Amino acid sequence: MNTIGKLCTLTIYGESHGPSIGAVLDGLPAGTVIDWDEVRREMARRAPGQSALTTARKETDAFTVESGWFEGHTTGTPLAVRIANGDQHSRDYSTLRRLMRPGHADYAGRVRYGGWNDYRGGGHFSGRLTAPLVLAGAIARQILRREGIVIGAHILRIADVEDAPFPPLGTGAEVLEGLSRQALPLLDPSKEAPMREAILAAKNDADSVGGIIECMAEGLPPGLGDPLFDSVESRLSQMLFSVPAVKGVEFGEGFRFAAMRGSAANDPMRWEDGAVRCTANHNGGLTGGITDGAPLLFRTVIKPTPSIGRAQQTVDMESGEDAVLEVRGRHDPCIVPRAVPVIEAAAAWTLLDILMESRVWKGGPR
């Protein structure tokens, strides 16, 4: 399925080297005002070809709204958006019809679709398909902001260079939203130079590096979500693992819980101004799959870009023999910087869907 969501559904279509990619957003409230300039700014954060740290492919990510928008408001019917593809070098991928890229979805996709898949630029498996997701997330963030919910993310790690982590109990809307104005979103500016050096060193070696993105949402009311199969963790993880190159997700202390005792892992509570507040946030704002009023905090691991210029052992699907592949074309030596707005968008669309759903539950939050 290429559709996700319950009340707010998102369908993404297209291939990297096809005529266009795009999205259909269904379930947005009628009469919603959208700042399209803000949407364009968010998409520009993800767009390629902006520095030596990214692929040289140039895409403006200009889009047209095909339906669901009239006289400055959403109509309540599906909002369909088309993003034209432009700067394609399909000839760079001619050998990938038969030579499978290690670490990429070339082989798995070929088997899954019986060889009928569009392999150019990764086809439907390409990171190019995150552009419509960022567009949808940019719209969701505007709606959430009007509800007092703010989302932001930063690069926690690239290679062996680490940024300072988010304060678990929150950092404030100004900091969260300010991160989107940085080319490399960081809490500690002194880490920018060594991160750039790590990326360029990998690029010079015809190699790539991965990293970790940390994301926080503040302002979520307690009581959102559901236990078991529809927990907030489950819903977010499904969306996050749909982002290409995400190979791990953790909430709060995550895997560090394994070395902690309950006395250290629990989040004490107290009354403050007539409301229950947690004095710690080891659980990342979630207990029992439901928001507890503390900031939502999670991290995603982004693997190194599989398309690299180094010689790699692979297979030739036409000859049935082993082969060696050196990937040509234009590829990111590190996709982490461009993935930051994608992770924010994935969180925003999922949280909007959960919030909308909570408002139709009998006895749920109002």
CA distances from 116 to 89, 105, 128 (A): 20, 14, 19
Query: First-to-last CA distance in the chain?
Result: 31
What single letter denotes the amino acid at residue 72? G
* 26-45 pLDDT per residue, tens: 999 999 999 999 999 999 99
CATH topology for the 3-358 domain = Chorismate synthase, AroC fold (3.60.150)
pLDDT band, very low/low/confident/very high, at 49 (cuts 50, 70, 90): low
Q: What is the pLDDT of residue 331?
A: 80
Average pLDDT over residues 85-97: 68
* 6-18 pLDDT per residue, tens: 999 999 998 888 8
Residues linked to residue 297 through DSSP beta bridges, in sequence order: 216
Q: What is the pLDDT of residue 118?
A: 80
Q: What is the pLDDT of residue 31?
A: 95
Q: What is the pLDDT of residue 83?
A: 94
The token duo for 324 is 């060696």
pLDDT of 268 strictly over 50: yes
Average pLDDT over residues 337-362: 90
Q: Which among 120, 132, 48, 124 is positioned nearest to 88, based on CA atoms?
A: 120
Average pLDDT over residues 239-264: 97
* 172-218 pLDDT per residue, tens: 999 999 999 999 999 999 999 999 999 999 999 999 999 999 999 99
* 131-151 pLDDT per residue, tens: 999 999 999 999 999 999 999
Q: Where are the domains of the chain?
A: 3-358
pLDDT of 165 strictly over 50: yes
Average pLDDT over residues 119-125: 77
Q: In the chain, what percentage of residues exceed pLDDT 70?
A: 93
pLDDT of 364 strictly over 50: no
Q: What is the pLDDT of residue 55?
A: 62
For residue 339, give every residue at least 6 positions away whose Cβ sits within 8 Å of its Cβ, in sequence order, or none. Answer: 130, 213, 243, 245, 302
Q: What is the pLDDT of residue 56?
A: 57
pLDDT of 362 strictly over 60: no
Average pLDDT over residues 151-167: 98
Q: What is the pLDDT of residue 125?
A: 77
Q: 212-230 burial, b if ≥16 CB within 10 A, otherwise e?
A: bbbbbbbbbebebbbeeee
Distance between CA 341 and CA 42 in Å, rounded?
7
CA distances from 72 to 77, 200, 285 (A): 14, 44, 36
Q: What is the pLDDT of residue 95?
A: 81
Q: What is the pLDDT of residue 360?
A: 61
Distance between CA 2 and CA 15 in Å, rounded?
13
Q: What is the pLDDT of residue 365?
A: 37
The token duo for 336 is 């982490």
What single letter denotes the amino acid at residue 90? S
